[in-house]
Structure 1
């Protein structure tokens, strides 16, 4: 059984992705900001007999401490994370950036609607989860080598 983490997984395509992985028998951790949508996701999973394989975390990812809590909780609860889907963080850009986009112009990364702090927090969350995954992968590899040695291979 694989473990899939989906940030922003309580609506739209992201929610569909979470359900698709549940339907395949995977374990899914959904990170979302709306408790009502999280409850709906959990209830739907229960009706599909997948309630024991879905987990909902509702942190405020604008806070570094909440990012750290999510990293620790995922690391503690799951032996490994097989896939990480990062779709969280929404914002409403100012009207001028929407009109600039509609007119076909690109929004620069220097534009006020680009949230550099959110990008930095997302980067930190991603790096921490990837490091955790690498450590877990190395531990599995070392256990495999030890097992082969014990078998005399």
Structure 2
């Protein structure tokens, strides 16, 4: 039996300059976190650095936590910045829902003339490769530079 649906929540991104602060959910100036039914957190923080909008994610991206990442991606694409960086190096698991969000964001960015750079860790790169979406998501760019191989 499926769990009952959860009520609506405010999933607007929190602005944060330092990803190293931890998993404290909903504190002033910190991470916004969501927990799935198994208690697995996803923390998302955004950092507007003037010319670059950065989205950081830490945890697991799946059907129940994906709306948090989706809201941050939408904020980045609506920020008016020419470059959006999605830092997923701390994501330990991503399912097809998360990959779908990244694909949609990549297409939307291209239509808007925004450069979207995805910094993928091992979990994201592996799932994208299994779905044959490495090139589509632009992950070959970071892998070719050698910056993600040690993740």
Fold shared per TM-score above 0.5: no
Scaled by the length of structure 1, what TM-score is found?
A: 0.32
Structure with bigger helix share is 1
* Structure number with higher relative contact order (C-alpha < 8 Å, ≥ 6 residues apart): 1
Q: Which has the higher strand share?
A: 2
The two structures have a TM-score, normalised by structure 2, of: 0.32
